[in-house]
Amino acid sequence: MSKSPNVIFQKATVTRLRREIQNGHKSINIWFTGLSGSGKSTLAHAVEERLHVMGCRTYVFDGDNVRHGLCSDLDFSRSDRAENLRRIAEMVKLFLDAGIISLTAFISPLEEDRKKVKEIIGPDDLIEIYCNCPIEVCEKRDVKGLYKKARMGIIKNYTGISSPYEPPENPDIELFTHRQSEDECLEIIVGELIERGIILKPEVS
């Protein structure tokens, strides 16, 4: 129940559909989940670059960047992680209404939290992409040294080490980022957007 019962939702005359028509594409959320180092942010920005070149209106929500602002008051406890994702899901809803293709790169380790995200955003407005990568490979890619600190006990509640990661049971797309190239993953994602009618297939000149 809302904590602000006297706040009334204001309907706009400029609708999501009108914005989508103006943008030349539909809005959607592409939600990347996976261990730290599995390639979520890399792929999110690669997809955004491709879509931007195609003339699409896009925005990437990156886990670290969001923690610097919108969710800077949250820690990595179970409850705060859930609240972090709830805030992002609500923000995504606004971007969907704005007619924008949003890309969200978050570990989002628990199935329960991902289900709540889908409930907020809407299952038809979210494409869940699981970046499946063995933790051994993720640790080798760990340029920030976070896994090492977690192994030493310096960082608590680190996903994959001292905190669990529950793989999605039925993701829309599963990418094996330790053996599929960035270009291969990129083509799969863009192909999904074309197949769903979110964007138009580029014309061959």
108: annotated active-site residue: yes
From the list 2, 41, 108, 162, the catalytic residue is 108
124 Cβ contact list (under 8 Å, min separation 6): none
The owner of tokens 């291969």 is 184
Q: Starting from the edge strand earliest in sequence, which strands make up the sheet with 173-176, in order? A: 58-62, 101-105, 28-33, 126-132, 173-176
Distance from C-alpha of 126 to C-alpha of 131, rounded to nearest angstrom: 16
- Nearest 10 degrees: CA dihedral of 174, 175, 179, 182? 170
Residues 67, 74 contacting (CB under 8 angstroms) = yes
* H or E element at residue 83: helix 78-97
Distance from C-alpha of 21 to C-alpha of 192, rounded to nearest angstrom: 20
- Residues with catalytic annotation? 108
